[in-house]
Amino acid sequence: MKNKYIFGGIIIVLFFAIMGYLFTETNIKYENDFQKVIKSAKIVKVTGSWNKSKKYVIDTKNNEFSFFMNDDSGNELKVVYKGTIPNNFDHATSVVVTGKFHNGVFKAKDILTKCPSKYQDTQTTKNS
Amino acid sequence: MIGNIFLFTALLASIYTIVLYYLDFKGYQNSKKLARIGYHIMTISVLFASLYLLFIIITHQYQFKYVYSYSDNTLPLGLLISSFFAGQEGSILLWILFAVIIGLFLMEYTSKRADLESRVMMVFVFTIFFLLILINPLFDNPFTYIWASEKFVNLKFVNQDYLNLPFLQKFIFQDDSNSTFFVKVTADLVALLEKDGIRINDFIINGVGMNALLQNFWMQIHPPFLFIGFAMSAVPFSFAISALMKNDYQTWVQDSLPWLLGVALVMGAAIMLGGYWAYGVLGWGGWWGWDPVENSSLVPWIIAVAGIHTMLVQKRSIEKEGTSGRFVKTNLILSILTYVLILYSTFLTRSGVLSDASVHSFVAPGKIIFIILLAFLSFFFLLGLISIAIRWKYLEVNFIYEENIWSRELALFTATVTLLGSAAIIIFGTSLPIFGNTVDISFYNKMTLPLAIIMAFLNAISFVLKWNKTPFKQILQDLKNPTIFSMVFTIAIVLLGSVYDGLYILLILFSLMALYVNSIKAIQIIRKRFSAMGVYFAHIGISIFILGVIGNGGYSKQNQIQLPKGEKVEVFGHNLTFIGFEVFDKEKYRFNVEIEKNGNIKNLSPVMFIVEMDNSMMREPDMEANISYDFYISPISYDDGRNKANAEILELTKGETKQFDNLQIRFDSFKFSEGFMEAMQSGEKMTIIAKIIVAENGKENEFEISQIIEKANRQSIPQQITENHIAQIVGLNAMGQIQLQINKSDSQITVPKQILTVEASLKPFVSLIWIGVTIMSIGFIFSIMYRIKEFNKKSLN
């Protein structure tokens, strides 16, 4: 049975090593405190609410879409998303964006919007 | 009521069946016959419950919450039937329905095999019993009435004749965010209606309808396939547990193998049907996105495939060595794990734990279901684990010889370890959101690449290796031709396709080698033993599949481009011209794009439309599929060129005046047409008119600006307010505010340009993915038939 265990063992150890390494490389944390988001150099998933008092801007020339987000303690974050406005964005209240803070704005590569309503089931839409 | 009676009868019958099969197992006489009767009662009850659900869906009985939530009057028959499994409760019923039908075949199958029936059926019915608990009458099930808990029903689904009922007013609510009206349907309201002689299904006359993403052909095929796979996966589990019960491991592998092959076939086909659905219709860009829902059905499939490999080793060593065989423990664990992971997948996708992480939308089903699912899962997992622990000492087998390095046994074992490694990685990544973490998609891509290389290599070498031991010289000799063949083609691919990534080159090399080895083997035996072809087909299929994945995953190109109407735009060697759009199905838009390549002209028509149900945008791609590449365009947006230029938005409250350029603009009042309130409540066509007063250099002018609203569509009528200003309403709310968009037309007015924005992509060799999977599925079918034939031959001797 020795060969079996040597072969299996080597493969398993090797994979767990690669997995551990890749996990630290690609791990994305959920974050709801914008002050931490600003300091983080890594890609994070930021949860917060869309600040409706500030209008979102659609820049068709550069194909960009930007809006402002707030966290629970009232910190504000400008989010820029390369792409078109997500479906249903006008009704969204809670937003999850994935990306990195860079040069004063949060560059999102992925937006997930939620439109909770006390009358209907929550609807989730994703853009990436 | 009727539905609940059927479901409850089924639940009781399942308990009865379990008990009587247990008594039969313990040796009580006559109990097997009674157990079978119990099973048939359960089957008939489930069948009737399903037929009844189908009946209430087709006859639009919206007094049932399930029917109201997932269907409506407009669905065509095929999709209407599909709404049976559009929601959680119905899909569990479908799962049970398939399980009881599969159980009939299983009963027939096991009754012919010694004393198997009582043990296997007992465990199998146990799995059905748990599913029946999930939709028992105490919880939400497909037959729950709409008023069982408070439910807000959109006013447009209510019969307009009853709107002026006096008591109704206090049940009507308005959602401020989108100014829609709802009726709160409760038991009180139903009682009041009944007092007036109004039946609730005359009161609610339409349903919410099916999610637009689900409204297409594949909805009728993909989910049923998946649930057949789910239901079937309980069979190998039952065989494993029943082997442990009797502490006899001689026959269970050969009994279980055809079923496990069946699970792999059906699940694999179901997963890829879902992939095709996502790719070809939904426009999610690719056929695979490492989405938690996709992952969690892939993992049990991988475990099942791993199990098939080690079961073959056990089966052979039982025949040759006369013990209970090699890999007994591995096989038992894998059989149990396949089912437990199906349950885990159900838990992940239905308990709502992943709602932040997935594109598949879930409705959190409430705490009770969450707990039951978790209990369900842990129970079967522990059952398997403890059974194996108890029998551990019987499972330790000493073998006369160990696996040689150059033996097929060891190659199969390594293949299993690799498969399990990839399963572990995927399940690890998928489960992370439970702990507030997640991984980037690149985690899966980077991780599976080295695993795929090992698998491709094993796929090539396994069939060169013989059982027990292979002389090294012979291996070298047998590998000579495959190596030359794959080297030549790999070099050709590298040069022609500019593939410079070392890992990809390695993967291509081994996949081609596997393709060659398996094809040669298949050709060699095609005359002698046609029925034994399955294994080679499956491996040829997976090699072709991997080549397709490399092409599509590693070398796709995409580009977002703007197509002004009538102008030729070049992308990836194709000339695209946006010709115009047409309206079909009332409110869907088909955008016609002419594709020209080397003088050949084709038309692609991606589709966009707004879904009334949730105001979201549906984007359906279109593609030109070839063997060597797919040219794929998915629509992003359409700009009719009218509004955007020099536009500004003014928000005005009633009576408020705002400055715009040299103009003073005052919003004076709304003007309502007659019958406005009724129209507003019923969602019929209505016109909103805002009176505004514009003062320019002290001169006042009065204007009426209107917006026509019909259902979810709003159409604004632009109004010239000065020589160079055009105003239109773009938004209004119940607080009495309007949003005015004012366009300034400068002296140099340009003709507005209509621009369609699309994402164009060139995806090489996607066709190989579908071809590979089809060949693999054919391989599975052959293998199942081969195993059944093998058994029949043996039992005749």
Q: Give pLDDT, residue B242.
A: 94
Q: Which residue of B has its CA nearest to A94?
A: B356
Q: Give pLDDT, residue B423.
A: 93
Q: Give pLDDT, residue B362.
A: 46
Identity of the residue in A11, A88, A120 whose CB atom sits nearest the CB atom of B421: A11
> Contact, A71 vs A77, CB < 8 A?
yes
Give residue for tokens 């608990």.
B133
> Contact, B766 vs B630, CB < 8 A?
yes
**Interface check B66 vs A, CB under 8 A:** no
List pLDDT tens digits, range B211-252.
Answer: 888 888 989 999 999 999 999 999 999 999 999 999 888 889
Q: Give pLDDT, residue A125.
A: 55
Distance from CA of A1 to the nearest CA of B (A): 5
What 3-state DSSP class applies to B709? strand
* Predicted model pTM: 0.84
Q: Give pLDDT, residue A18.
A: 83
**Interface check B400 vs A, CB under 8 A:** no
Chain B residues close to A123, C-beta within 8 Å: 361, 614, 616
Six-digit token string for B146: 């709409």
**Interface check B355 vs A, CB under 8 A:** yes
- Measured CA to CA, the distance from residue B548 to residue B511 in angstroms comes to 11
A23 within domain boundaries: no
Q: Is B47 exposed, middle or buried (0-12, 13-18, 19+ CB in 10 A)?
A: middle
Q: What CA–CA distances, in Å, run from B74 to B54, B219, B616?
A: 16, 16, 19
Contact yes or no for B425 and A15 at CB 8 A: yes
Q: Which residue of A has its CA nearest to B361?
A: A124
- The separation between CA B47 and the C-alpha centre of its own chain, rounded to angstroms, equals 25
Q: Residue A96 belongs to a domain with what CATH number?
A: 2.40.50.140
* Residues shown for chain B: 797
At how many degrees (to 10) do helices B441-461 and A2-26 cross? 160
Is pLDDT at B361 greater than 50 in this prediction?
no
Q: Give pLDDT, residue B749.
A: 43
A17 within domain boundaries: no
Identity of the residue in B355, B402, B436 whose CB atom sits nearest the CB atom of A30: B436
**Interface check A121 vs B, CB under 8 A:** yes
Give the amino acid at B505. I
- Read off the pLDDT band of B402 (50, 70, 90): low
Q: Give pLDDT, residue B679.
A: 66
Is pLDDT at B101 greater than 90 in this prediction?
yes
List pLDDT tens digits, range B480-522.
Answer: 999 999 999 999 999 988 888 889 999 999 999 999 999 998 8
What 3-state DSSP class applies to A84? coil
Q: What CA–CA distances, in Å, run from B696 to B662, B667, B692, B723?
A: 7, 15, 13, 11
Distance from CA of B637 to the nearest CA of A (A): 8
> Contact, B153 vs B204, CB < 8 A?
yes
Distance from CA of B585 to the nearest CA of A (A): 21
Give the amino acid at B327. F
Q: Give pLDDT, residue B61.
A: 94
Contact yes or no for B438 and A115 at CB 8 A: no
Chain A residues close to B637, C-beta within 8 Å: 84
**Interface check B417 vs A, CB under 8 A:** yes
- Measured CA to CA, the distance from residue A9 to residue A6 in angstroms comes to 5
Distance from CA of B239 to the nearest CA of A (A): 26
Contact yes or no for B446 and A121 at CB 8 A: no
Is pLDDT at B342 greater than 70 in this prediction?
yes
Look up residue A111 and give its DSSP letter. E
Among the residue ranges B220-224, B284-288, B549-553, the one predicted with the least confidence is: B284-288
> Could you report how far apart the first and last alpha carbons of chain A are, in Å?
49
Contact yes or no for A1 and B616 at CB 8 A: no
Is pLDDT at B397 greater than 80 in this prediction?
no
Identity of the residue in B403, B437, B616 whose CB atom sits nearest the CB atom of A88: B616
Chain B residues close to A63, C-beta within 8 Å: 560, 757
> Contact, B190 vs B183, CB < 8 A?
no
Which H or E run includes B79? helix B77-82
Among the residue ranges B37-46, B581-590, B702-711, the one predicted with the least confidence is: B702-711
- Read off the pLDDT band of B357 (50, 70, 90): low
Among the residue ranges A32-41, B17-26, B485-494, B593-602, the one predicted with the least confidence is: A32-41
**Interface check B589 vs A, CB under 8 A:** no
Look up residue B553 and give its DSSP letter. I
Give me the total of CB pairs closer than 8 Å, taking one residue from chain A and one from chain B.
112
ipTM of predicted complex: 0.80
Chain A residues close to B560, C-beta within 8 Å: 63
- Of chain B, the percentage scoring pLDDT greater than 70 comes to 90
> Contact, B309 vs B414, CB < 8 A?
no
Q: Give pLDDT, residue B445.
A: 87
Q: Give pLDDT, residue B748.
A: 40
A14 within domain boundaries: no
**Interface check A18 vs B, CB under 8 A:** yes
For CA atoms A7, A12, A18, A22, give the dihedral sign: positive
Distance from CA of B617 to the nearest CA of A (A): 5
Please, what is the average pLDDT of chain B? 86
Contact yes or no for A19 and B414 at CB 8 A: no
More confident residue, B19 or B750: B19
Distance from CA of A55 to the nearest CA of B (A): 10
Neighbour-count burial for B222-236, b at 16+ CB within 10 Å, e otherwise: bbbbbbbbbbbbbbb
Is pLDDT at B138 greater than 70 in this prediction?
yes
Six-digit token string for B550: 């490399």
- Measured CA to CA, the distance from residue B20 to residue B14 in angstroms comes to 10
Contact yes or no for A22 and B359 at CB 8 A: no
Question: Which residues on adjacent β-strands are paired with residue B694?
Answer: B665, B701
Contact yes or no for A28 and B177 at CB 8 A: no
**How many CA atoms does the CB half-sphere of B193 hold within 13 Å?**
26
Chain B residues close to A20, C-beta within 8 Å: none
Chain A residues close to B404, C-beta within 8 Å: 3
**Interface check A19 vs B, CB under 8 A:** yes
- Of chain B, the percentage scoring pLDDT greater than 90 comes to 42
Q: Give pLDDT, residue B673.
A: 64
CA angle B375–B378–B381, rounded 5-degree value? 145
Touching B: A residues 38-57, CB under 8 Å: 43, 45, 47, 55
- Measured CA to CA, the distance from residue B24 to residue B41 in angstroms comes to 18
Chain A residues close to B399, C-beta within 8 Å: 1
- Measured CA to CA, the distance from residue B703 to residue B697 in angstroms comes to 17
Chain A residues close to B405, C-beta within 8 Å: 3
A92 within domain boundaries: yes
Contact yes or no for A124 and B361 at CB 8 A: yes
Could you give the residue ranges of the DSSP H alpha helices within B234-251? Answer: 234-246
User: Looking at residues B583-601, what average pLDDT do you find?
Assistant: 88
Q: Which of A111, A120, A122 to mutate to test the interface with B (most CBs of B within 10 A)?
A: A120
Contact yes or no for B356 and A117 at CB 8 A: no
User: Looking at residues B285-304, what average pLDDT do you find?
Assistant: 88
Q: Give pLDDT, residue B707.
A: 79
**How many CA atoms does the CB half-sphere of B372 hold within 13 Å?**
16
**How many CA atoms does the CB half-sphere of B654 hold within 13 Å?**
10
For CA atoms B232, B237, B241, B242, give the dihedral sign: positive
A100 within domain boundaries: yes
- Measured CA to CA, the distance from residue B430 to residue B345 in angstroms comes to 10
Among the residue ranges A70-74, B260-264, B296-300, the one predicted with the least confidence is: A70-74
- Measured CA to CA, the distance from residue B574 to residue B601 in angstroms comes to 10
Query: Mapped to the 3 state alphabet, what secondary structure does B256-290 carry?
Result: HHHHHHHHHHHHHHHHHHHHHHHHHHHCCCCCCCC
Q: Which residue of B has its CA nearest to A46?
A: B356
Q: Give pLDDT, residue B605.
A: 92
Distance from CA of B36 to the nearest CA of A (A): 43
> Could you report how far apart the first and last alpha carbons of chain B are, in Å?
54
List pLDDT tens digits, range B415-450.
Answer: 898 999 899 989 998 888 888 778 888 888 888 888
Q: Which residue of B has its CA nearest to A112?
A: B356
A1 within domain boundaries: no
Identity of the residue in B410, B414, B614 whose CB atom sits nearest the CB atom of A88: B614
User: Looking at residues B112-141, what average pLDDT do you find?
Assistant: 91
Q: Give pLDDT, residue B175.
A: 74
User: Looking at residues B648-660, what average pLDDT do you find?
Assistant: 78
**Interface check A12 vs B, CB under 8 A:** yes
Where chain A has pLDDT below 50, the residues are: 122
Q: Which residue of A has its CA nearest to B614?
A: A88
- Read off the pLDDT band of B783 (50, 70, 90): very high
Q: Into how many domains does chain A fold?
A: 1
- Measured CA to CA, the distance from residue B317 to residue B467 in angstroms comes to 10
Chain B residues close to A18, C-beta within 8 Å: 447, 450
Torsion angle defined by CA atoms of residues B621, B624, B630 and B636, in that order, rounded to the nearest 10 degrees: -30
Q: Give pLDDT, residue B681.
A: 61
Contact yes or no for B152 and A30 at CB 8 A: no
Identity of the residue in A3, A27, A60 whose CB atom sits nearest the CB atom of B403: A3
- Measured CA to CA, the distance from residue B497 to residue B557 in angstroms comes to 13
- Measured CA to CA, the distance from residue B155 to residue B204 in angstroms comes to 9
- Read off the pLDDT band of B747 (50, 70, 90): very low
Contact yes or no for A87 and B616 at CB 8 A: yes
Give the amino acid at B768. L
List pLDDT tens digits, range B36-72.
Answer: 999 999 999 999 999 999 999 999 999 999 999 999 9
Contact yes or no for A22 and B443 at CB 8 A: yes
More confident residue, B791 or A86: B791
- Read off the pLDDT band of B270 (50, 70, 90): very high
User: Looking at residues B141-150, what average pLDDT do you find?
Assistant: 89
List pLDDT tens digits, range B718-736.
Answer: 777 877 777 878 776 656 6
Residue of B423, B511, B541, B450 lying closest to B778 (CA atoms): B541
A47 within domain boundaries: yes
Distance from CA of A24 to the nearest CA of B (A): 9
What 3-state DSSP class applies to B758? strand
Q: Which positions ≥6 away from B630 have C-beta within 8 Å?
A: B623, B624, B762, B763, B766, B767
Q: Give pLDDT, residue B440.
A: 83
Domain span at residue A43? 28-127
- Read off the pLDDT band of B16 (50, 70, 90): very high
Query: What pairing do the DSSP bridges indicate for beta strands B437-439 and A27-31?
Result: antiparallel
**Interface check B171 vs A, CB under 8 A:** no
